């Protein structure tokens, strides 16, 4: 099978001439990643580029640099940003805004005007029929489409996205291939990320001439699947290398339960009885109104499951009563300031997406839910399909980050390995934390989960791409 050529050499040569004037700008990109992967270069040149890396490895920084180069080359480029969930789209907007100071002043206005949407909203997918308004006969109007948290995208949604993409448009996918794949779907991003990065000799020459980067000789392969298009970032920038989160994430990926347990130390607790767990969680929050309201948006309880004594539903019920008493006193009212909810279904007419988390506020004489980004919805207009969100499942947390995470796994069953708890689930939960982490899990469960070999899965998609 002939592997498609993913760039036009003439385009690359034009890019080489252009980039010579901006070599210093590219060299300002973090050297730890740039000298291993000249990532902004393929992102700004190739029709397709996939960037995979763990939390804090600089994926958004890479995207910002790539978009900067594209806009410097063609200031009137139509760029669209998207993510699978509302929370992920909001976080992408926040992350790009933080990159503004390092962007060339001539393109800051264009970059500042970019605003990520959910893929459902971007494609205008009907909640009733599942059909998209944008498709092959009515494509999106863009020169570039960049999608963050692409590991969450199922095959059906990806197919709709590709159909709606204009033939000349560039597609940039960003994500972490070690996170949970989409449920009941082909994990396109995760499978493509398994391809060893390979570069064509022309591309390697261009990288050497324009950036002074010599690519590893073993990575130069003119017959590699998706040449130049798969980029891996591995050096954590958001976390210090010896931080708790970085050590826990590395131990989990290395299937090293002993290292994970040692890294956590007193921040790991065996699973207690349900009653003791609820009390322990309650006592971990401030017991005064203002302090609690300040803390709630900064932390999240992530559960392996939704139902049962250790599920998010039961924990939410207990915490809702506890928080209501601290914030609203003896009031029996359902709503109170700071009450958190999660939207369970897309509602395009209300600008709400599955996974959006909002907090209750009093405004203009009525209770509203504040979903951020100037989305304020009165309680009377709230759709019925929502749930409390002091605790959410690990699956629902994808695309989100919190200063502190309480990660709750399942009880250990010595006679049977848990089908629910996996290395990927634990890794996803750990990397939702930005600063601190508490893990509720028996050491035996961690050993059982991380020390068992991963079952290799045949991939028809990867087989198809092999030359």
Q: pLDDT > 90: what percent of the chain? A: 53
Q: Decide if 392 contacts 304 (C-beta within 8 A).
A: no
pLDDT for residue 2: 37
Across 134-138, 216-220, 326-330, the highest mean pLDDT is recorded for 134-138
Model confidence band, residue 121 (pLDDT cutoffs 50, 70, 90): very high
Tally DSSP H helices, then E strands, for the chain. 20, 16
| Residue labelled with tokens 């279904």 | 345
pLDDT greater than 90 at residue 444: yes
Rounded to an integer, what distance in angstroms lies between the CA atom of residue 361 and that of residue 455? 47
pLDDT for residue 141: 96
241 vs 338, residue with greater confidence: 338
Give the mean model confidence (pLDDT) for residues 201-224. Answer: 79
Q: What are the pLDDT digits (tens) for 283-309?
A: 999 999 999 999 999 999 999 999 999
Domains in the chain: ranges and CATH: 9-238 (3.40.50.300), 244-451 (3.40.50.300)
pLDDT greater than 50 at residue 180: yes
pLDDT greater than 80 at residue 327: yes
Radius of gyration (Cα) for the chain, nearest Å? 23
Cβ neighbours for 28, distance < 8 A, ≥ 6 positions apart: 102
Output phi, psi for 227, to 5 deg.
-60, 140
Average pLDDT over the chain, rounded to whole? 84
Q: Which of 162, 178, 440 is nearest to 309 (CA)?
A: 440
CB atoms within 10 A of CB 293: 16
Q: Decide if 131 contacts 120 (C-beta within 8 A).
A: no
Output the CA torsion sign for 444, 407, 343, 348.
negative
118-127, 343-352, 374-383, 453-462, range with the lowest pLDDT:
453-462
108-122, 149-163, 452-466, range with the lowest pLDDT:
452-466
Token duo for residue 265: 């130390």
Q: Decide if 124 contacts 92 (C-beta within 8 A).
A: no
Model confidence band, residue 227 (pLDDT cutoffs 50, 70, 90): confident
Rounded to an integer, what distance in angstroms lies between the CA atom of residue 104 and that of residue 112? 12
Q: pLDDT > 70: what percent of the chain? A: 85
Model confidence band, residue 33 (pLDDT cutoffs 50, 70, 90): very low
SS3 category, 86: helix
pTM of the model: 0.82
408, containing H or E segment = strand 402-408
Q: What are the pLDDT digits (tens) for 366-425?
A: 999 999 888 899 999 999 999 999 999 999 999 899 999 999 998 887 777 677 899 999
pLDDT greater than 90 at residue 79: yes
Q: Write the DSSP symbol of residue 457.
A: -
CB atoms within 10 A of CB 204: 20
SS3 category, 100: helix
410, containing H or E segment = none
Token duo for residue 285: 């929050």
Q: Decide if 190 contacts 181 (C-beta within 8 A).
A: yes
Token duo for residue 76: 């009137």
SS3 category, 207: helix
pLDDT for residue 188: 82
Model confidence band, residue 28 (pLDDT cutoffs 50, 70, 90): very low
Residues in the chain: 467
């Amino acid at each position: 099978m002939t592997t498609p050529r993913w760039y036009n050499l003439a385009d690359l040569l034009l890019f080489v001439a252009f980039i010579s004037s901006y070599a210093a700008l590219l060299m300002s990109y973090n050297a730890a990643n740039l000298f291993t992967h000249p990532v902004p270069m393929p992102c700004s040149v190739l029709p397709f580029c996939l960037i995979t890396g763990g939390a804090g490895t600089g994926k958004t920084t890479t995207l910002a640099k790539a978009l900067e180069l594209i806009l410097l080359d063609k200031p009137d480029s139509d760029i669209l940003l998207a993510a699978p969930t509302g929370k992920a789209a909001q976080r992408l907007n926040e992350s790009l805004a933080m990159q503004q100071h390092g962007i060339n002043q001539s393109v800051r206005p264009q970059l500042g005007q970019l605003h990520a949407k959910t893929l459902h909203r971007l494609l205008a997918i009907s909640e009733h029929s599942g059909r998209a308004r944008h498709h092959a006969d009515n494509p999106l109007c863009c020169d570039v489409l960049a999608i963050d948290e692409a590991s969450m995208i199922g095959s059906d949604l990806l197919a709709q996205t590709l159909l709606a993409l204009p033939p000349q448009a560039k597609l940039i996918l960003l994500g972490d291939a070690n996170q949970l794949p989409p449920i009941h779907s082909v994990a396109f991003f995760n499978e493509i990320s398994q391809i060893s990065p390979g570069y064509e000799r022309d591309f390697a020459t261009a990288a050497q001439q324009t950036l002074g980067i010599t690519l590893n000789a073993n990575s130069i392969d003119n017959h590699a699947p998706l040449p130049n298009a798969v980029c891996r970032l591995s050096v954590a920038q958001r976390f210090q290398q010896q931080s708790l989160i970085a050590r826990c994430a590395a131990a989990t990926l290395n299937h090293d339960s002993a290292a994970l347990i040692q890294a956590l130390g007193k921040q790991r607790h065996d699973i207690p009885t349900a009653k003791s767990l609820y009390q322990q969680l309650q006592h971990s929050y401030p017991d005064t109104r203002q302090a609690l309201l300040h803390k709630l948006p900064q932390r999240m309880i992530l559960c392996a499951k939704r139902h049962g004594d250790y599920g998010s539903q039961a924990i939410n019920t207990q915490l809702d009563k506890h928080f209501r008493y601290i914030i609203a006193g003896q009031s029996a009212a359902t709503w109170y300031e700071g009450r958190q909810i999660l939207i369970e279904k897309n509602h395009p007419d209300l600008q709400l997406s599955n996974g959006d988390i909002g907090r209750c506020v009093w405004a203009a004489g009525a209770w509203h839910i504040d979903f951020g980004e100037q989305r304020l919805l009165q309680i009377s207009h709230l759709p019925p399909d929502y749930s409390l969100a002091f605790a959410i499942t690990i699956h629902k947390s994808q695309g989100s980050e919190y200063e502190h995470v309480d990660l709750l796994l399942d009880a250990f069953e010595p006679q049977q390995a848990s089908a629910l708890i996996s290395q990927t689930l634990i890794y996803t939960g750990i990397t939702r934390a930005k600063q601190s982490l508490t893990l509720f899990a028996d050491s035996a469960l961690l050993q059982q989960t991380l020390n068992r070999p991963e079952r290799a899965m045949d991939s028809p998609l990867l087989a198809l791409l092999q030359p």
